[in-house]
Amino acid sequence: MSIDMAQFHQVFFEESFEGLDIMETGLLHMQPGAADSEEINSIFRAAHSIKGGAGTFGFMEVSNFTHVMETLLDEMRDGRRTVTSEAIDALLQSVDVLRDLLTASQDGNDLDTDRAAAQKAVLEAILAGDGTAAEAVADATESLDSTAAPLQQITGWKIVFRPHQNILRTGNDPYRIIRELSELGEIRSHCDTSLLPDLAVFEEEDFYLSWEIFLDTPVDKQQISDIFDWVEDECDLAIIPLVGEVEVSEEEAITPAVTETAAVAETAATEPAKATVTPVAAAKKPAASAGSKSKGGGSIRVDTEKIDSLINMVGELVITQSMLGMLGEDFDMSRVEKLNEGLSQLERHTRELQESVMQIRMLPISFTFSRFPRLVHDLSSKMGKKIELQMIGEETEVDKTVIEKIGDPLVHLVRNSLDHGIEMPADRVAAGKPETGTIQLIASHKGGNIVIEIHDDGKGLDKNKILSKALEKGVIADGSNMSDKQIYELIFEPGFSTADQISDVSGRGVGMDVVRRNIYELGGSIEIDSRPGQGSAIIIRLPLTLAILDGQSIRVGEETYIVPLVSIIESIQAKPEMVNMVAGKGETFKLRDEYLPVIRMHDVFGIENPRFTRVTDGLLVVVEGDGGKCGLFVDELLGQHQVVIKSLETNYGKVEGASGATILGDGSVALILDIPDLMRLSRKMIPEHFLKSA
């Protein structure tokens, strides 16, 4: 009887991507000439396992490529070969190639054999030790990165730019990118609107447009690539050289999520009209564990202790159920006390079971942190800076869903610290600092939340510059009474940037507002602190899980809503002298030194018969979100309890002002309020500045 080996493929790929993470981490820690033997052994073992598994399952291209890596690592661990920076860099690039080969094999796509062959030649040249390694690296790079035709023959470029649907959610703005492109010369563009959906299903945070752009200037291709570097994995992109009016068709030019190959470059060199495909998932992209995270999305490795705990809890639950079943036979009032004891026991076991199940979804934050050593290594080298990354609390556990969604915001914040925070070595020395800057990623559990901190010892934020830019852009009308903290938080306003020069790392004025919005959507908060000349700290607080939240039940009319406890500051009953009406603008109430807007819940949700219509008769729940505070006018508070979150969009449809729903004890459904979205929704009735803190 033959065995279907395909059933084991998923496990092989998961283990292989984990092995790549081990290899990459080890190589980043390795120092030329003084590598730790155990470190090399762990890298070698990971490569050996990938090679063996690939050969077993018939992925021979992966196996053959890994064999050359294994040979080089074997000579290094035996002391036959000195560890050099050249070898480390070549092995890091080989990890990227191997990751792409594994990803393509898993997805059933064509393998980029030309790129693998070019990188393999680099490794073999190093193994040969005949002085040709540097030339091999240069030749491979030239073959991979060759432009389609000599610059003097190119009259312009055609750029096919197809942003992915989620590009706005990751903090990127296609329009700003196109404006940057126009600074290189005169452009002509055609916008494709064929993917625009009907208004009924249109999502404001999704993107549906794409462009054909003609740049009538023979600039260097790298200048164009640099503009799109930030969104290379958020779009399909082709940069096509024009010689006269000759160009390739869009179908030939665009290849989503592929790496530029030597074959493309070679064809382009002999036939100038062919396209040079810009990589959208290229080796230069510093994502240490993208493969293992994206491909591991459908499964979780669980510690056997967690499984044992879950089984024990189920056993206890079965015993309690059996006891209650026996009580139900011939029940009489003498058994009421036993029944109450059984129900209390059932409640206790159910809560313990819930906690055990939630523990299964908990993963260490290292799954997110693991991408940053490579990112810092590559970008600091590119910018000519010396930066040490310190990661603290990597074993702190958080819900798998939170881990998946916090990655992109953290990447943006770390890149900002790299680009804007840490100074150049000479500038640091002149300021009396060590030439090597430090970025710290710290994770910890505090008060039922996970707290993630990004610290850098750079130059800090320039509050005068931020204030000046905010006034210039009209973000604020007057900053005379703003505290330092309020000034710093202006960097989260849409399109805000103080960068003097636009770089391909950051500084286009996109992303920080989306970072804040994404964190709010996770039910979290973000704050910033900075000291000029000493550095900055960004502190993110997130719930441990998105499946269950602690909420406050409120009643408006006959409806019940859930307010996340993390959003609530306090609840008050307003006195008449606290409430003010501004003609045509709405109600406000004074809470200590702040004037906050009143959001009438019955008006927002169209409830016809609220119990109270005067603010002084009902209650005001003071909540915080989207950078401001407000008071939710409700009839009464019901109680606090944990609720299980159910997706509205999956089970029903999107409801403005609500992040989900839950089923209450009586079987009715209650909406869980999305405070930032509710505040934005209320702006249709109340001007924006009434939703900001005074």
End-of-domain residue from the set 360, 384, 407: 360
> Which pLDDT does position 452 carry in this prediction?
93
In a domain, 355, yes or no: yes
Instruction: Find tokens 């992915």 and name the residue.
Output: 164
In a domain, 292, yes or no: no
What mean pLDDT, rounded, does the chain reach?
Answer: 78
Q: State the catalytic residue, choosing from 24, 70, 212, 587.
A: 70
Confidence bin at 270 (pLDDT 50/70/90): very low
Rounded Cα–Cα distance for residues 188 and 287 (Å): 34
Whether the CA torsion 342, 343, 349, 352 is positive or negative: it is: negative
To the query of whether residue 70 is one of the catalytic residues in this protein, the response is yes
Helix 400-416 / helix 372-383 crossing angle, nearest 10 deg: 10
pLDDT tens-place string over residues 546-570: 777 788 999 998 899 999 887 888 8
Q: Do residue 214 and residue 278 come from a single domain?
A: yes
To the query of whether residue 416 is one of the catalytic residues in this protein, the response is yes
Domain, as residue range, for 270 = 146-284
Confidence bin at 677 (pLDDT 50/70/90): confident
Whether the CA torsion 624, 625, 631, 632 is positive or negative: it is: negative
Rounded Cα–Cα distance for residues 277 and 274 (Å): 9
> Which pLDDT does position 256 carry in this prediction?
34
Virtual torsion, Cα 136, 139, 140, 142, nearest 10 deg: 160
pTM of the model: 0.57
Q: Do residue 487 and residue 558 come from a single domain?
A: no
Decide: 435 and 386 in contact? Cβ < 8 Å. yes
Check pLDDT > 50 for residue 295.
Answer: no
Q: State the catalytic residue, choosing from 48, 180, 250, 559.
A: 48
Question: Among 268, 275, 262, 225, which residue's Cα sits nearest to residue 143?
Answer: 262
Decide: 90 and 122 in contact? Cβ < 8 Å. yes
* Lowest-confidence pick of 295-309, 383-397, 573-587, 672-686: 295-309
pLDDT tens-place string over residues 211-227: 999 988 888 888 888 88
In a domain, 480, yes or no: yes
CATH number, domain containing residue 50: 1.20.120.160
Q: Do residue 426 and residue 538 come from a single domain?
A: yes
In a domain, 419, yes or no: yes
In a domain, 289, yes or no: no
Q: How many domains does the chain have?
A: 5
Rounded Cα–Cα distance for residues 486 and 463 (Å): 10
In a domain, 398, yes or no: yes
Question: Among 209, 215, 219, which residue's Cα sits nearest to residue 147?
Answer: 219
Check pLDDT > 90 for residue 443.
Answer: yes
Question: Among 442, 418, 422, 428, which residue's Cα sits nearest to residue 366?
Answer: 442
Check pLDDT > 70 for residue 136.
Answer: no
* Lowest-confidence pick of 169-173, 254-258, 332-336: 254-258
> Which pLDDT does position 272 carry in this prediction?
33
Mean pLDDT of 425-445: 92
Q: Do residue 171 and residue 239 come from a single domain?
A: yes
In a domain, 290, yes or no: no
CATH number, domain containing residue 204: 3.30.70
> Which pLDDT does position 478 carry in this prediction?
74
CA-based R_g, the chain, Å: 29
Left if phi > 0, otherwise alpha if psi is -120 to 50, otherwise beta: which for 215? beta
Confidence bin at 648 (pLDDT 50/70/90): confident
Q: Do residue 127 and residue 58 come from a single domain?
A: yes
> Which pLDDT does position 391 carry in this prediction?
93
> Which pLDDT does position 268 carry in this prediction?
33
Q: Do residue 353 and residue 376 come from a single domain?
A: no
Confidence bin at 455 (pLDDT 50/70/90): very high
Tell me how crowded residue 503 is: count the other CB atoms within 10 A of its CB. 16
End-of-domain residue from the set 116, 144, 172: 144
To the query of whether residue 190 is one of the catalytic residues in this protein, the response is no
Q: Do residue 566 and residue 645 come from a single domain?
A: yes
Q: Do residue 99 and residue 155 come from a single domain?
A: no
* 555-573 burial code (b ≥16 CB/10 A, e <16): bbbebbbbbbbbbbeebee
Could you give phi then psi for residue 192, rounded to 5 degrees? -95, 115
Check pLDDT > 80 for residue 459.
Answer: yes
Q: Do residue 280 and residue 310 come from a single domain?
A: no
CATH number, domain containing residue 486: 3.30.565.10
The more confidently predicted of residues 144 and 219 is 219
In a domain, 294, yes or no: no
Check pLDDT > 60 for residue 344.
Answer: yes
End-of-domain residue from the set 92, 124, 144: 144
Q: State the catalytic residue, choosing from 164, 260, 416, 518.
A: 416
Q: Do residue 553 and residue 538 come from a single domain?
A: no
Decide: 609 and 558 in contact? Cβ < 8 Å. yes
Q: Do residue 536 and residue 404 come from a single domain?
A: yes
The more confidently predicted of residues 230 and 602 is 602
Q: Do residue 635 and residue 556 come from a single domain?
A: yes
